Structure 1
Amino acid sequence: MPEPATTSLWGVFETEFAGPRDGNPHHDVTLDVVFACDGREVVVPGYHDGDGTYRVRHMPDRLGEWRYVTRCNRAELDGLRGDFFCGPAGPGAHGPVAVRDRFHFAHADGTRYFPFGTTCYAWTHQPLAMQQQTLATLAGAGFNKLRMGVFPKHYIYSENEPLHRMFELGPDGREDFDRPNHAAFRHLERQVAALMQIGIEADIILFHPYDRWGYCAMSEAQDLAYLRHVVARLCGYRNVWWSLANEYDFLLDVKPLPVWDRFCQRIREWDPYGHPMSIHNGEVSMKYDHRKDWITHVSVQDWDVKRTAEWRQEWGKPLVNDEMEYEGDIPRPWGNISARELVHRFWLTVVRGGYGGHGETYLQDDDLLWWAKGGMLRGESAPRIAFLRALVEEDVETGLTPLSEDGRWEFNRVSGARDGDYRLLYFGEHQPAHWAVGLPMDDGDYEIDLIDTWEMTVTRIGKAPLPLSPALRQRGGAMAGGSPEAAFGVRLPGKPWQAIRVRRGRVSDVVAKPIANSS
């Protein structure tokens, strides 16, 4: 007998079956495959991939022998059996991401995941050479999540014809929304797999309002058939996230709110792996009720990032501000903030307990803007966001909890967070020359570093032991009533965009000259 096929833990096992060609398999044939290993069963949807070929993709989450059997409403595809062996995970494969510790994320093997994302809405609809350039840029940019659409986008700076139509042309010369263009969807899945290979989560936007093809106005039956097809094609990839929509509220005239709930519920039924799922607002006032069971995390767009801690408490889930406005210079207020401002907003978001998303919108004669089409990054924020990511991943074990949740009123203005003994304070536009609030209450063995968030430097500084001077005590070194707020204070350079990192009992690799007035 031939040896069974093999795949790796959290890899992709794919198999195909020959089946009916008649009628419209997209609507007429329903195929599921039941995979079983060591008492665990996983029901995975299959799909028609053209010319009577049906496929299924399974992401095994247990080592050992897996067996499978098909279930189908057509006899020729029902009751087919097979098996394969799942070996150890490949290099860099930590499994799919899920919510962990209420406000944070981790991979299936326990490795923590801190989202630092960017946006290229229509990158898979550009010329192939530009798509390769996008992948090369992403491989070295420091982002680990990408927001991207299934459908092409028609909007300013994104008006070119897409690489593929998403559906086949009917007799009238228009796209037939009941017949997927398999070439287009095969290309989409190849690019999702390419992102997986370079360690980037693919945040798949399923609907958006920027459309000249009619995709956003399909019937609900067509929407559901399309959604099942996308889920069947992509759910076997460990790096997939589902975003129901970009700016769902701009589609409420054609997809009322109950429709979005039904979409979420059906995706939950079809996706056996429970990939992260969110829905993204347009207007600030139209945030979805993210407390609903099928939503795993909050995805918002809002420039007012100082409210991050407030939002995460309101919804009780991880908060990802996927669009806090973009670095660029286009004549739209959401797309012309400075690199310094975007970096500032990232720091505010992270140190207030959330996660952020980057975008870049610099005018180009050929309309090749990163946020729409990918290609090359031209701005200054990306390396500084990567610097912040490196700082977080170096020390944070669970996730950052805002100090404002400890009742520290000062941190409604100045941002601070903790993770066990680790503290990260960010002053932003504030420029204190001394600081003690939020520092540890005991005078232990602490390593204290000054971080310049723009220059990307880490400098060892000393601590100023209490008792502090009366002036410093009055200005934040002590709580009301005169008792010390911390066991020590620090002296700072008195300029904006600085942060302090406090770690207990560590020996750092950082070699830097202390600031001139440190003690």
Structure 2
Amino acid sequence: MLVRQAPRHPPGGSPRPRRALRLIEFVAAGLASTLLACAPEGVVGVTTELPADVALYETFELVVQGHRTRDNPFTRFVEAVFELDDREIRVDGFYDGDLTWRVRFAPELPGEWHYTWRLGDQRGSGVVRVGSEPWTTRGAGPDGGTLRHRGHVHAQGDGRGVLVHADGSPHYWAGAKWLSAKNYGPPERAGVVNEREEDGSRHDAYYSDATFYEFLDLAVDYGLNGMLLKLGLYPLADDGVSWDLEWVRRADRWLAAMNERGVYCQITLFEPWSRRRGAPFEYSLDSSAHVLDAWSPGQRAEKENYIRYAVARFGGYSNVYWELANRIRHPGFDERTFLDEASAHYTRWLGERDPYGVAVAASDVDQARSIPEVTVEVPRTNTHLPAPPDVQRARVVNELVHDCGPVGTGARAYLDATIRTPTYRSCYRSANWLAFVSGAYGSAAASWLDLSRPLNGAARAVLQDLGRMKRLIESLPVGHHYLAPDGRHLVMGQGHLGTRSRSGHLYVSYFRGPVPAGEVTVELTEGRYLAQWIDPTSGEVLSETRHLLRRTGERAFVSLESPRIDEDAVLVIHNEAAIVVR
């Protein structure tokens, strides 16, 4: 057994050592393992490992030394089974080079898990003792405190769809940015340099570890807890089976660093901008030129292996959930075939290989609803986010794609130049608040933020606004997973763009200015209400009033004074007499 303390940042990472990452690693190497049992006939070695102690939601990693065979090792997986009482979890182990396979397991229940594993003619067994307390990391919580991890994200349906952590707490994804495969890829391959520039931005090119860790720390300090990492088939070799291990090991390190800090990462499996065969750093908008064509019924064995390997490698981190596809509908791509393949195969393979049943997203909304096993719908436009009464899936806005300026000006929210322009700060804040009041369980700051350039004040302000929003949402006296879009609460009020509520308990409304001081009219049931107007740029309470509604058996209309709103404001009305629901 190897239990070692690894520094928070690898060599070359950020110099600010706030906390350490604990790595639990077991090595099982045939006859050279810790304890050797007698091998039955036809089996090269049966090993029994010493018990390991891990915390709830912490990643346990078993390392197996295998043997050379004629098969491509990326098609061979360790088959591991973890058992606790009557619960059984099947986990695949992936090939990581040098005849080494790794099994990653992030337990969601405390107790003494007994496991067995098999790789060809090798077998082994062991015990993982999981404590009742969750994994904690020092210095990763609010204001540098201790962070208690919450486990994987699951989607639960209650007529509209909610996202919750393994510990039952609600999940809200405040996304700092997305990371392209080239960001964590190698600096060069076969003499080709990873230096792509688009629209004056290097958002889709190589970043050093130091650059990424510095941004990650900044995002966490601002209160953000989300990233999106694209695979785009880039780490996959042209044979559609082998993986570039230098490439995916960097992804491992970045995901582990996010996990340590409580940052949840959506991993995108397929998208139109996937790697073109024969070119290490180029995409193609012709799906037939991709390493794997997800928009066709061919290469099913390779696509199943791709999904299986990705889940085996990354699914053992408790901060990971999946985006099956970004932009299923795109000019020149066979949308109908993708939906058929996804319904019949892709989501089935995900479900079979993901032992935790984490959330699975897809873009766009109509396409997501066409795939039965997709549990999270991702809208493409988000200036207005309707929440139809028939929606039964959680919603996350993982990319801002609308125009911040007048249509045609080119000031699109995902562009690096837009987020760095101070006049567009309120555009991002408005889009994120609109997402929330319309029922979303997360939204993002800016997709194409270029980390190769120092962030200016405008970009930092956008990130800070989203962090303040997340903190306000998580401080509400009613958990946001109990709040639904409400079209009848606010009867009259200038600048009102949406309300999310639990009737009779809590109402959160968003207003966009400029609006002069005046009144708004709301409809409430009986109760003792505290009404607060909040400035979303600072979290400051602008004004507050209290209102007592006697029991009448009917809803009543109440007029509230409203302050002058220059840019935007949030109105929170809480029934202090109601039972707190978290």
* 1:494–1:82 Cα change, 3 Å: closer
- Deviation per CA, 1:389-416: give whole Å up to 9, x if none: 1111111324321221779798996412
* 1:399–1:342 Cα change, 3 Å: farther
**Matched letter for residue 130 of structure 2:** C
> Do structure 1's residue 124 and structure 2's residue 184 form an aligned pair?
yes
**Matched letter for residue 327 of structure 2:** E
Once the two structures are TM-superposed, the CA of residue 356 in structure 1 deviates from its matched residue by: 4.2
CA distance in 1, matches of 2:176, 2:371: 26
**Matched letter for residue 124 of structure 1:** Y
Q: Is the 8 A contact 1:414 1:430 kept in 2?
A: no
Q: Is the 8 A contact 1:308 1:354 kept in 2?
A: no
* Secondary structure in 2 matching 1:301: coil
Matches within 5 A, 1:10-409: 10-26=57-73, 28-72=75-119, 74=120, 76-77=121-122, 79-87=123-131, 88-91=133-136, 92-100=148-156, 101=158, 102-122=160-180, 123-125=183-185, 126-151=207-232, 166-167=235-236, 175-214=238-277, 216-218=290-292, 219-250=299-330, 252-253=333-334, 256-261=338-343, 262-281=345-364, 287-290=366-369, 292-305=371-384, 307-310=385-388, 313-325=389-401, 331=410, 333-334=412-413, 335=415, 336=418, 338-360=424-446, 369-370=448-449, 376=455, 378-379=458-459, 380-395=461-476, 396-397=478-479, 398-404=481-487
Q: Is the 8 A contact 2:276 2:291 kept in 1?
A: no
CA distance in 2, matches of 1:491, 1:464: 15
* Secondary structure in 2 matching 1:490: strand
CA distance in 2, matches of 1:145, 1:502: 28
Q: Is the 8 A contact 2:430 2:512 kept in 1?
A: yes
CA distance in 2, matches of 1:249, 1:405: 34
Once the two structures are TM-superposed, the CA of residue 41 in structure 1 deviates from its matched residue by: 0.7
* 1:494–1:464 Cα change, 3 Å: farther
* 1:454–1:134 Cα change, 3 Å: closer
Q: 2:508 aligns with which of 424, 428, 431?
A: 424
Give the structure with the higher percent strand. Answer: 2
Q: How many residues align?
A: 454
Identity across aligned pairs (percent)? 22
**Matched letter for residue 425 of structure 2:** A
* Secondary structure in 1 matching 2:369: coil
Extract unaligned runs of 5+ from structure 2: 1-34, 36-48, 137-147, 186-206, 278-282, 284-289, 293-298, 578-582
* 1:53–1:450 Cα change, 3 Å: same
CA distance in 2, matches of 1:318, 1:80: 40
Once the two structures are TM-superposed, the CA of residue 239 in structure 1 deviates from its matched residue by: 0.6
Once the two structures are TM-superposed, the CA of residue 358 in structure 1 deviates from its matched residue by: 2.3
- Deviation per CA, 1:361-385: give whole Å up to 9, x if none: 7xxxxxxx52687974752322112
* Secondary structure in 2 matching 1:486: strand
CA distance in 1, matches of 2:76, 2:501: 53
* Secondary structure in 1 matching 2:512: coil
Q: Is the 8 A contact 1:146 1:201 kept in 2?
A: yes
Q: Is the 8 A contact 1:66 1:85 kept in 2?
A: yes
Q: Is the 8 A contact 1:450 1:500 kept in 2?
A: yes
- Deviation per CA, 1:298-336: give whole Å up to 9, x if none: 11211342x3323xx343111112223279899464534
**More displaced 10-residue stretch of structure 1: 38-47 or 116-125:** 116-125
Q: Is the 8 A contact 2:60 2:106 kept in 1?
A: yes
Once the two structures are TM-superposed, the CA of residue 206 in structure 1 deviates from its matched residue by: 1.2
CA distance in 2, matches of 1:491, 1:350: 21
Q: Is the 8 A contact 2:171 2:441 kept in 1?
A: no
- Deviation per CA, 1:176-212: give whole Å up to 9, x if none: 4332122222221221111011111010011222245
CA distance in 2, matches of 1:414, 1:128: 41
* 1:505–1:127 Cα change, 3 Å: same
* 1:436–1:340 Cα change, 3 Å: closer
Once the two structures are TM-superposed, the CA of residue 484 in structure 1 deviates from its matched residue by: 8.2
Give the structure with the higher percent helix. Answer: 1
**Matched letter for residue 179 of structure 1:** S
CA distance in 2, matches of 1:390, 1:316: 26
Once the two structures are TM-superposed, the CA of residue 499 in structure 1 deviates from its matched residue by: 2.3
* 1:355–1:38 Cα change, 3 Å: closer
* 1:252–1:315 Cα change, 3 Å: farther
Q: Is the 8 A contact 2:54 2:128 kept in 1?
A: yes
CA distance in 2, matches of 1:84, 1:345: 45
Give the corresponding residue for 2:190.
none
TM-score by length of 1: 0.78
* Secondary structure in 2 matching 1:348: helix
CA distance in 2, matches of 1:374, 1:308: 36
Q: Is the 8 A contact 1:416 1:438 kept in 2?
A: no
Give the corresponding residue for 1:434.
518
Give the corresponding residue for 2:545.
462
* 1:14–1:465 Cα change, 3 Å: closer
TM-score by length of 2: 0.70
Give the corresponding residue for 2:536.
453
Once the two structures are TM-superposed, the CA of residue 503 in structure 1 deviates from its matched residue by: 2.1
* 1:298–1:374 Cα change, 3 Å: farther
